[in-house]
Amino acid sequence: MKRKGFTLVELLVLIATIVLLVGVFILVLTKLRQRAFRMTCQTNLSRIGKASLMYSSDWDDPLPRAGGESSTWRPKINNWQAGRWDAFGINKTDGSGGHASISSSFYLLVKYTEIWPKQFVCPGDSGTKEFKPTEYGVRDKDLIDLWDFGPEPSKHCSYSYHMPYGPYALTVASSHPGMAIAADRNPWIDTPTVKAKDFSLFKWNGNTQQQKAGNAVTHKGEGQNVLFIDSHVAFEKRPFCGVNDDNIYTYWDGEDIQRGAVPVLGSQPTDRLDSLLVHDPPAADKE
């Protein structure tokens, strides 16, 4: 008997089926990978939350706030290897002045609690990796001797933090339990590899895509992991998840609290219930 081979149509159907199966496999694998990233990120924020409570207990209530009593926010500190006064540019006579970064406030947890730099890196945050002092030529100092995640801190810290510099810094005792402490990076501020989103595309009361436009970029725009002051972590599918549906990535400008206004250097929460989670813009790394 003669052996019958594939016809052209059968061959094309077979190829199409294989391509379809490979596509489905890649899609499933990608979703599983993103889910794993999300879980690692949740674990990181949970540990940051526990470390923050430990810090607050040791320092009589305040959450981590680098610099001096009157220091202001700047994307980069003076010298991450110097002593405290010089690191933040604090006046040595009366302790006034100076400036500090968001990452340097996070770094206080590395200095004073049981947490490591790798806990500040979300695997879904492109361009970010664990801080290792030796990679910057530092071999004579330990992590506890430093004041920030190196000369390029934005590349070693994946998370945003409630603005600690100003009149409404959070404390455990006096803050609403629904206040957000930290979350994935703010979508309206550049990251080491991604430009800030277009705020005009975000409509809190629009369709699904318009609402998702306000989400962090870390988890493919599906939502953000958020750490609340009562230490629980939740994956929130929309950014307006603070007290009274406050948008955690914007400050309230008196209009829609679910939308708010894009933060810039110097922005402050409007009141004690206004969440404002920001990270340091990466441009300062090049200065």
Exposure of 267 in the CB half-sphere (CA atoms within 13 A) = 23
Query: Nearest to residue 158, comparing CAs of 13, 38, 18?
Result: 38
Model confidence band, residue 218 (pLDDT cutoffs 50, 70, 90):
very high
Q: Mean pLDDT score of the chain, rounded to an integer?
A: 92
Q: What are the backbone angles phi and psi of residue 245, rounded to the nearest 5°?
A: 60, 30
Give me the mean pLDDT over the 205-233 stretch: 95
What pLDDT, on a 0 to 100 scale, did the predictor assign at position 102?
97
**Sequence-distant contacts of 75-78: CB under 8 A, at least 24 apart:** 75/101, 75/154, 75/265, 75/280, 75/281, 75/283, 75/284, 76/101, 76/153, 76/280, 76/284, 76/285, 76/287, 77/101, 77/104, 77/147, 77/148
- Give the tens place of pLDDT for each residue, 166-216: 999 889 988 899 999 999 999 999 999 999 999 999 999 999 999 999 999
119 contacts 162 by C-beta, under 8 angstroms: no
Q: Is the pLDDT of residue 11 over 90?
A: no
What pLDDT, on a 0 to 100 scale, did the predictor assign at position 286?
60
Q: Is the pLDDT of residue 1 over 60?
A: no
What pLDDT, on a 0 to 100 scale, did the predictor assign at position 249?
98
Element (H, E) at 33: helix 8-58
Model confidence band, residue 40 (pLDDT cutoffs 50, 70, 90):
very high
pTM of the predicted structure, to 2 decimals: 0.89
- b/e 274-287 (16+ beta carbons within 10 angstroms → b): bbbbbbbbbebbee
Coil vs helix vs strand at 234: strand
Query: Nearest to residue 148, comparing CAs of 113, 191, 110?
Result: 110
274 contacts 168 by C-beta, under 8 angstroms: yes
Give me the mean pLDDT over the 64-88 stretch: 95
With tokens 């540990």, the residue in question is 47
Give me the mean pLDDT over the 206-229 stretch: 95
- Give the tens place of pLDDT for each residue, 91-133: 999 999 999 999 999 999 999 998 999 999 999 998 999 999 9
What pLDDT, on a 0 to 100 scale, did the predictor assign at position 151?
95
With tokens 């200065």, the residue in question is 287
The ranges assigned to domains in the chain are 10-286
Q: Distance between the two ends of the chain, CA-based, in angstroms?
A: 79
Q: What are the backbone angles phi and psi of residue 109, rounded to the nearest 5°?
A: -70, -30
Torsion of CA 24, 30, 36, 42, to 10 degrees: -120
- Give the tens place of pLDDT for each residue, 51-73: 999 999 999 889 999 999 999 99
